[in-house]
Amino acid sequence: PYLEQELNKRYNLFRIWDYPQLSQLLTQHATSIRAVVGRSNAGADSDLIDALPNLEIVSSSSVGVDLIDINKCKEKGIRVTNTPDVLTDEVADLAIGLILTLLR
């Protein structure tokens, strides 16, 4: 919610889930969309990237970029970002905690 509120202050956000069909969103707004923000369950495939002629960046608020067509982005000069190592320390802490619990 916080990130979305901050983005809303500066940009027009189009939420895919507000449109019954992705094609409807693309028909109405494709030329004005400059960024795609996704998560571990949503990214940007080749078709979506091709449909957005002014796309400049694809960002994922997760570690992986599995759902982003990296080659297509590279081909079109589109930046790709994600959040690598964001959970590394937390996962290590949890693993140590679980090991300690097992040893009890």
* pLDDT score, position 83: 87
The count of domains in the chain is 1
pLDDT at site 55:
97
Residue entry with tokens 């079109």: 76
Could you tell me the residue range of the domain that residue 45 belongs to?
2-103
Burial 30-65 (b: 16+ CB within 10 A, else e): eeebebbbbeeebbbeeebbebbeebeebbbebeeb
Beta bridge partners, 64, equal none
- The CATH number assigned to the domain holding 98 equals 3.40.50.720
Along the 104 residues of the chain, how does pLDDT read in single tens digits? 788 899 889 999 998 888 889 899 999 999 999 999 887 778 899 999 999 999 999 998 888 888 999 999 999 999 999 988 878 889 999 999 999 999 98
Tokens of 63: 């570690």
